[in-house]
Amino acid sequence: MKVLMIGSAGYVGSIIRPAIEAEHDVWHYDRRPVPRAGRRGKVADVLDERSLRLACRNKDAIVYLALGVRPGGGKIVSDPQSAFDVNVLGVHQTLYLGLRAGVRRFVITSSLSVYNRVGTRHPLFSERTPADSFHTYGFTKRVGEFIADAAAQSRKSATVVSLRLMWPRTEEDWPQGQSETRRYWYPTGPQDTRDLFLAALRCKIPGSHIIQATGDVKQRDYSHRKAKRLLGWKAQGR
């Protein structure tokens, strides 16, 4: 497939980019240059309507990885303007322009941050657990999922998969991530993260699908049943 990756110069993009490039015909879109992208890379903001509209042309799928960060840093945003620009306006513009351009498969990066506190409720967390976050980052991710639902409703032939990630790690960070695994916090290994996005791109079932994905291999606290059923994915701890 011809795939447009938005935000592929970022942390998650650096994990999954080689795997997606190995299986698909990939173009990149980011505010920063993507290493070795060449003419297949566009440096622009996701709110640049003209640039994004042109980037969406003749694509089969879009992977939205853009993550609001503090200028010059890599921390999760607390600034409302940045969070809404990336997680709300950017998601809406991407889905709107993508659908108009004929794109019918979308993978949107969400987060377990849609929950206010993940370690206080039982039984297993699943996609049916009501999202309740009101802090800036988690709330804007909740709104992004709502936009994904609305996009799928507007175009019945579209498949929109929203992936609720938990702490994805690079190869360099993964050994530390494994040692930091503790109750309710399960880093997701780099290969599991790659397999997840590839599986999401293969999904052909029309509609909006929210998928929870964590490194909880034994499913002590987080269910992977929906990920397994729809995507054939389950955390392997790698």
Beta-bridge mates of residue 27: 4
> Residue 170 pLDDT > 60, yes or no?
yes
58 compared with 70, residue with greater pLDDT: 58
Looking at residue 73, what is its pLDDT? 42
What is the rounded distance in angstroms from the CA atom of residue 149 to the CA atom of residue 162? 9
30-35 long-range contacts (CB < 8 A, ≥24 apart) are 30/6, 30/66, 33/9, 34/8, 34/9, 35/9
β-partners of residue 43 are 30
pLDDT of 192-231, one tens digit each? 999 999 999 999 999 999 999 999 999 989 999 999 999 9
Over pLDDT 70: what percentage of the chain? Answer: 92
Distance CA 56, CA 99 (A): 9
The pTM (predicted TM-score) of the whole model is 0.94
Please give the structure tokens belonging to residue 16: 């999954």
Domain boundaries, the chain: 2-231
Most confident of 2-11, 59-68, 77-86: 2-11
| Residue 69 confidence class, pLDDT cut points 50, 70, 90 | low
Q: Tell whether the model's pLDDT for residue 72 goes beyond 50.
A: no
Architecture of domain 2-231: 3-Layer(aba) Sandwich (3.40)
User: Mean pLDDT score of the chain, rounded to an integer?
Assistant: 91
